[in-house]
Amino acid sequence: PLTSTVNGYRNVGYFAQWGVYGRAFQAKQLDVSGTAKNLTHINYSFGNINNQTLTCFMANKAQGTGPNGSDGAGDAWADFGMGYAADKSVSGKADTWDQPLAGSFNQLKQLKAKNPKLKVMISLGGWTWSKNFSKAAATEASRQKLVSSCIDLYIKGNLPNFEGRGGAGAAAGIFDGIDIDWEWPGTNSGLAGNGVDTVNDRANFKALLAEFRKQLDAYGSTNNKKYVLSAFLPANPADIDAGGWDDPANFKSLDFGSIQGYDLHGAWNPTLTGHQANLYDDPADPRAPSKKFSADKAVKKYLAAGIDPKQLGLGLAAYGRGWTGAKNVSPWGPATDGAPGTYETANEDYDKLKTLGTDHYDAATGSAWRYDGTQWWSYDNIATTKQKTDYIVSKGLGGGMWWELSGDRNGELVGAMSDKFRAAAPGPVTEAAPP
């Protein structure tokens, strides 16, 4: 039977809602580059939770009007409103003015038609839109209401009416599951202003995952479909503990989770260069012991808690984090500030970094960086991708994940991972393809 794996491994990629604008990254690029054939799951990011109703919803405004703008930021235009010309469309056909579904949702539907084993997930939350998770997860009634609304909107595809598009069932059949990206239950290390209940979030999070599993299975039994439930897993041991992320009970609800193997260091410390995505601890890391992060340390924490390795994926970065005024070619040297980036300071796509300055790779730490005499950038390249893929295979993990696909336009990194999976012994995952 057809499976949604690459030789028994997952290769998951996040597709950013906002990428269709300045980055000009549409779903068609995943088709023409061949990336779609190397992916098993696309996580469309992100869906938001309304501050007033505590439900999944869609709006078309850059900023909400509630406290922190949290009642309603959204981009329904990118999701399902924007019409695509023939040359920008996966199918090669132009959208018509009167079709109920356009935008990225329709493009992903066309991508799935060309790639029958590909699954598309809706990812809820993210760094900016995790504000209302805590409140929505707080009671049995609020959990049931949130989950029901998310299934109604994304899985059943009952979209709001928006500029002549949307309506009941307009997005049916696009999403094969839901990815939970709550950053972070039980701790104030998420975005300032997030709702956090340090006492109860941990238990409520577990109950929320169970509610998602229950309702997804109940709806799946009506149309003979198994819906996927995944999560974006923190790497910081303190965040793991605060949210109870490594509780095996959570993985009875989840099909799998992807560990954040990046953002381990960055220009929030503007005067110290260093690895943002190192596989192993670096003995030269001068930071306090509680701040010495590595992907391997995170993986081992989940495995030590008894999580089945095949339910874990390792996240890699299709972007780098960088500094300017860097004096040393080696990591952990002095710098003056975050380096200039195309879309945000101290952040740049792999595609732009791969030709900057000179490339450096350290197998001992599983890290790569670029240095041009002033700018110092930590990133993932082909060498670290191959090393980390070997690590995934050797640990019996379920696969890898990428944040986010627009940084690797031609699928060089994603493809290097899938090529390694194909050459390896078959992996542990048996996940049926969408029916």
β-pairing verdict for 319-324 and 337-338:
antiparallel
Give 431's contacts (C-beta < 8 A, 6+ positions apart). 3, 4, 5, 10, 40, 228, 255
* Predicted structure pTM score: 0.97
Question: Is 183 annotated in the active site?
Answer: yes
Side-chain half-sphere CA neighbours of 311 within 13 A: 23
The span from the CA of 135 to the CA of 144, in Å, is 13
End-to-end CA distance of the chain: 11
Contact by Cβ (8 Å): 383, 361: yes
Contacts of 419 (CB under 8 A, 6+ apart): none
Query: Which of the 8 DSSP states describes residue 348?
Result: E
* Rounded alpha-carbon distances, angstroms, from residue 316 to 15, 18, 49, 399, 400: 14, 20, 27, 11, 7
* Domain range 10-318+381-423, its CATH number among 1.10.3720.10, 3.20.20.80, 3.40.50.360, 3.30.950.10: 3.20.20.80
Residue from 183, 205, 193, 87 nearest 138 by CA:
205
pLDDT for the residue 68: 44
- Confidence at residue 93, expressed as pLDDT on a 0 to 100 scale: 98
Q: What is the pLDDT of residue 62?
A: 67
CA distance 430 to 3: 7
Q: What is the pLDDT of residue 67?
A: 44
- For residue 59, the model assigns a pLDDT of 87
Per-run averaged pLDDT (10 residues), the chain, 435 residues: 89 97 96 98 96 92 52 85 97 97 98 97 96 98 98 98 96 98 97 96 98 98 96 98 98 98 98 98 96 97 98 98 98 98 97 98 98 98 98 98 98 98 97 84
Residue 407 CA to residue 411 CA, distance in Å, equals 9
Token pair, residue 210, equals 């169970």
- The whole-number pLDDT of residue 433 equals 86
Amino acid letter, residue 404: E
Out of 140, 163, 183, 211, the active site residue is 183
How many H-runs (helices) and E-runs (strands) does the chain carry? Answer: 12, 19
User: Could you state, in order of their start, the residue ranges of all structural domains in the chain?
Assistant: 10-318+381-423
